[in-house]
Structure 1
Amino acid sequence: MILGIDVGGTHTDAVLIESGRIRKTAKVTTSPDRIVDSLSGIAQDLLKGESLEKIQRIVLSTTLSTNAIVQNKVDPVGLLVISGPGLSPSHFEIGGNTRFLSGYVNHRGIETAPIDPAEVTRFHEEFLRKGLKHVGIVGKFSTRNPNQELQVEKSIHNGLDHVSLGHRMSGHLNFPRRVATTYLNEAVWERYSSFVRQVISFFQGLGLSVPVYILKADGGTFEIQHSVEFPVYTILSGPAASIMGILSMTPDNKNDAIALDIGGTTTDIAVFADGVPLLEAFGVTMENHKTLIRGLRSKPVGIGGDSMVYVKDGQILIGPERKGPAAAFDGPCPTPTDAMIFLGLTDIGNRSKAEKAVQSIAEIMGITVQEAAEIIFENTCEKIALHVHSVIEEINNQPVYTIHELLEGKKISPKILYIIGGPAKPMSTRLGQLLGCPVCVPSYYEVANAIGTALARTTAELTILADTEQGTMTIGEEGIQEKLPSRFTREDAIETGRRMLRERALRLGARAEDLEIEVIEDQEFNMVRDFYMTGKNIRVKLQVKPGLIAGFKTGELS
């Protein structure tokens, strides 16, 4: 059996899957300040009466890192940045405690200026005086040679709780994104590591010793113990969970598609190209911080089933604020859910309380309750549809990247609309009309995120940079730089990458049967000096492709 739990901003959903079928589902209200309580409560409820020895795998997705960043509940971070020549250091300042070190590694990984140990000591002592316990170290070309970052880390480890290194965050270049990624990773580390300790303790207390995984932004997982070093990878795991849920429960459709996850607070909009989810290939953006974290492309908009409905300047407005649950569930104000209950589109909650809430809007507007409910419902659907059109227009003005490849010249033209989340059924018909698409509301649409979480395979990526003139090979994500054998070729780089990526993925918790490795970048450049070729610069990037674990195929879950 597999236990999947999605801790969302409004609700925590859980599912128990056995032999390719949904055995049990559960849904509770999330306690934002006590996420572990929400998780443990629903797990205990779902596992009650079950044979725990049958549990083979536990997978979680959580909004903890995302919410910490959005709500600015992060720890102060000291940043030591080795920026070298180029842009002014002011471009890289984040958080008020950024300090710049002498030293430089150039674009080929050659050290052209050494680190000043006295400078490192001075900044280290300053951080300790300020009570800073978290530090990030970032060099401009550390993915080509991590030695300066490692040297600085060795000098400052005393007195600190944790240090994040820029070269470990991603094999991609882009220095500003690397600085932001390293900063965010360290800023949420304390809160996230405490969460992981509590989760592990809880499941051990139940007598479960099976692997526990956490979902990442790219729709893949890694073992929760390993996730402690990279909490920034777990940002936006909620939208990733919904996309993976849709993949697991809908037919293997090769058409362009829209995917909506309508929650209580927000609606997440995702798009599929030729049946494949789109990817933020260069990295997701969190609170204006552009990162190097690869993530499934999804846009949250501030409208959901529990969005506050109010009147301003003679207009009925909806969201983006959520004051609590719908009035039908004893919430403080009218919501779209109350309108849908009154209109008979759903039979949940207390209808009389829903009617009373909608009536308060009707009286202000001088219209009937029926008219008010219809306006609220229509405006909610129209607002979501408007955002969908905006998302498609934005995508069609940019290169289209899927989780597998760049689609040259691709223009998205959706042929089907997938909807999940609590309000999916009552809103599906109208949204389909507004967007001009046939609609698919999958089975178990209310807990689709938990299903997608449960079935996601472990993903990983690796970047090989080989300079045959220097005779060096660097693997940034692993912090490795080693000598090349003679006559090293692009084919050798790919073979080495496959071997090392397999080892990395297994170390992160992947099962051998889930390893679908593919080359996603493959470049080779001649190095020329005085009109003679002196070597080659080889760059290869590989990934374990996101998807469902072995034994599950798209659309087969029931």
Structure 2
Amino acid sequence: MIIGLDVGGTHTDVVLLGQEGLVRQNKVSTNPADLFTTVLSGLEKITDGIDPQCIKRVVLSTTLATNRIVQQRMPDVGMIISAGPGMDPELFRTGPHYHVVSGGIDHRGREIAAVDADEVLKVADTLEQKGIRYVGVVSKFSVRNPVHELAIQEALGERFEKVFLGHRIAGALNFPRRIATTFLNASVYPIHKEFFEAVVNSLAQKGLNLPIRILKPDGGNMRFDASIDHPAQTVLSGPAASVMGTVAFAPQSDTCLAMDIGGTTTDMAVLVNGVPLLDPMGIKIGEHKTLIRSLDTISIGVGGDSVVRVVDGQIHIGPDRLGVAMAYGGPVPTPTDAMFILGVGEGGDLEKSREGIQALADELGIDVETAAQQIYDKACQTILDEAGAMVERINAKPVYTVHELWEGSRLQPRHIMVLGGPAPWFAKGLERLGDCPVEVVPRWKVANAIGAGLARTTCDVTLFADTEREIATAPEESFTKTIPSSYSKADATAMALDLLRKKAIARGANADHLELEVVEAMEFNMVRGFFTSGKNIRVMAQVKPGLIHGYDPIAEKIMGDHFV
């Protein structure tokens, strides 16, 4: 059996999956101030009477980190940047606690300027005085040689709770994106650590002492304990769960939009012939362009519980959420309250919803039903507009699925698949205001947890080789090996795939069903005078994201139950 658990900003969904399909499901309110109780209560009904030995895997996803970034509720973190000559690192400033220090590494990994330890110590003093607890350290070309990042970390000692090094975050080259990625890792670490401890303690209390995995933004998963050093890999794990929950039921010969409408955000992606699109460069979340390999998704601050305001005589929805709808005892009116008034939604205290929407109607100078209709339409139209903008953005660049470069005509989604608690309520408005049919995903309330549970383990490796220096490195994996001057791109590819296989198995992948692929293999001659002095080789390889081997009977059973 498999447990899939999705911790959202509003609700936590838990499912128990078996060969008979969806065995059990549970939905509880998320209390960010008490994640331990949230997770434990979510597991109570799921595991009641179940032999722990029957549960083979637990896969989690969460929108907690994503919501913090979208709502701009991140702690202050320090950044120490060593750039050397060239582009001005001030162009990539992440905030007020951003410090540039001496030191430089060239594009081949050779030191051209040393780190000044005394300078680093002065920066550390300043950060400590500001109460900074989490620090990111990035040196340009650290993926070719991490010696400067390691030296800065050594100088910092034990003065900070957590220090993140850029070369451990991602193996690909891109200095500005590495800064942003390292900054996000430091920023979301506190909430992820709290989530990590809550999950581990909750499962231990239930007697489930088994390996735990967490969904990554590329639609695969990784060992939960490894995520403490890569907390930004949980950013967009919630949207990835939504996508993977849709993949299990999506048509295999069509293009569709997948939308997970939650209480805080709406997450969107495009599926081509049942396969999600991939952002090969790295996701952009908020203002941050990163090296986090991800499914091509967007998250917008519009959901069922988004705050509705009147600003300059116009309805304004989100991006913040201050609690549940007024119908459920919340403090401010939301789109859910508007839907209750229109008879689209169900449950809750209608009079409380009417009270909240009436205050907005008075500001607008209209009756409460008209205000409710305008709020509902505004929420649906905002989602459709953002979806349209996403499709146009995708069509403006090369399109990559998680399996390959897709070289076809312009993408034109033929229908929309929605999931999430209020999905059926929003579906009516989306279909009326849009130009294609809208379908509710089977088990829409917990489809994200199903997607998390069915996702396979993935990872990637980037290998660099310099035949003149006779060295091959994968700094993210702490791997260095001497190579002969005759070393070739084929040798590098074989080494990268071997590293990838070992890494995937260590992270919990099924060794009998690994699907490995080379994403990029590049080779450049290095010339001195009139002669080739060596080759610079780069190989990137990944385990293809997708659903676990043998998932079909589970999905088919869930689909059948949906239509009973």
TM-score, normalized by length of structure 1? Answer: 0.91
| Amino acid across the alignment from 2:11 | H
Aligned partners of 2:308 and 2:73: how far apart in 1?
28
Report what 2:545 is aligned to.
546
Aligned partners of 1:122 and 1:320: how far apart in 2?
39
Aligned partners of 1:258 and 1:64: how far apart in 2?
23
| Amino acid across the alignment from 1:329 | Y
Aligned partners of 2:329 and 2:469: how far apart in 1?
69
Pair 1:286-2:285 in alignment = yes
Report what 1:445 is aligned to.
444
SS in 2 for 1:40: helix
Report what 1:10 is aligned to.
10
- Whether the 8 Å CA contact 2:376–2:429 is kept in 1: the answer is no
Which whole-Å deviations, capped at 9, do the CAs of 1:374-430 have from their partners, x for residues lacking one? 444334333322222222222222332332334357522111211111222233244
Offset at residue 519 of structure 1 (A)? 0.7
| Amino acid across the alignment from 2:462 | T
Question: Cα RMSD over matched residues?
Answer: 2.8
- Whether the 8 Å CA contact 2:279–2:295 is kept in 1: the answer is yes
Which whole-Å deviations, capped at 9, do the CAs of 1:103-136 have from their partners, x for residues lacking one? 3221112223333444445545555566544333
- Give matches, 1:288-367, under 5 Å: 288-309=287-308, 318-351=317-350, 354=353
Report what 2:259 is aligned to.
260
Report what 2:40 is aligned to.
40
Aligned partners of 1:364 and 1:76: how far apart in 2?
37
Offset at residue 16 of structure 1 (A)? 0.9
Which whole-Å deviations, capped at 9, do the CAs of 1:324-378 have from their partners, x for residues lacking one? 3334323345443344344444443345655665566667767666555544433
Offset at residue 274 of structure 1 (A)? 4.0
- Whether the 8 Å CA contact 2:467–2:487 is kept in 1: the answer is yes
Offset at residue 528 of structure 1 (A)? 2.6
Residues 486 and 20 from structure 1, CA distance in 2 versus in 1: closer, same or farther, beyond 3 angstroms? Answer: farther
Pair 1:394-2:393 in alignment = yes
Structure 1 residues 276-285 or 202-211, which shifts more?
276-285
Residues 485 and 270 from structure 1, CA distance in 2 versus in 1: closer, same or farther, beyond 3 angstroms? Answer: same
Offset at residue 252 of structure 1 (A)? 4.2
Offset at residue 15 of structure 1 (A)? 0.8
- Whether the 8 Å CA contact 2:250–2:274 is kept in 1: the answer is no
Residues 308 and 126 from structure 1, CA distance in 2 versus in 1: closer, same or farther, beyond 3 angstroms? Answer: closer
Which whole-Å deviations, capped at 9, do the CAs of 1:9-64 have from their partners, x for residues lacking one? 11111111111510111112211222232112111232223222211111111233
Report what 1:234 is aligned to.
234
Report what 1:483 is aligned to.
482
Pair 1:381-2:380 in alignment = yes
Aligned partners of 2:120 and 2:234: how far apart in 1?
31
| Amino acid across the alignment from 1:297 | D
Residues 527 and 449 from structure 1, CA distance in 2 versus in 1: closer, same or farther, beyond 3 angstroms? Answer: same
Aligned partners of 1:170 and 1:403: how far apart in 2?
18
- Whether the 8 Å CA contact 1:328–1:352 is kept in 2: the answer is yes
| Amino acid across the alignment from 1:504 | K
- Whether the 8 Å CA contact 2:144–2:464 is kept in 1: the answer is yes
SS in 2 for 1:278: strand
Structure 1 residues 386-395 or 223-232, which shifts more?
386-395
- Whether the 8 Å CA contact 1:260–1:267 is kept in 2: the answer is yes
Report what 1:104 is aligned to.
104
Pair 1:527-2:540 in alignment = no
The count of aligned residue pairs is 557
Aligned partners of 1:468 and 1:326: how far apart in 2?
62
Report what 1:472 is aligned to.
471
Aligned partners of 1:383 and 1:228: how far apart in 2?
35
Q: Give ranges in structure 2 of 5+ residues lacking alignment.
A: 559-564
Offset at residue 171 of structure 1 (A)? 1.2
Report what 1:512 is aligned to.
511
Report what 2:561 is aligned to.
none
Offset at residue 319 of structure 1 (A)? 4.3
- Whether the 8 Å CA contact 2:35–2:194 is kept in 1: the answer is no
| Amino acid across the alignment from 2:146 | P
| Amino acid across the alignment from 2:94 | I
SS in 2 for 1:173: coil
| Amino acid across the alignment from 1:547 | G
SS in 1 for 2:397: coil
Offset at residue 440 of structure 1 (A)? 2.5
Aligned partners of 1:304 and 1:123: how far apart in 2?
41
Structure 1 residues 77-86 or 138-147, which shifts more?
77-86
SS in 2 for 1:32: coil
Report what 1:56 is aligned to.
56
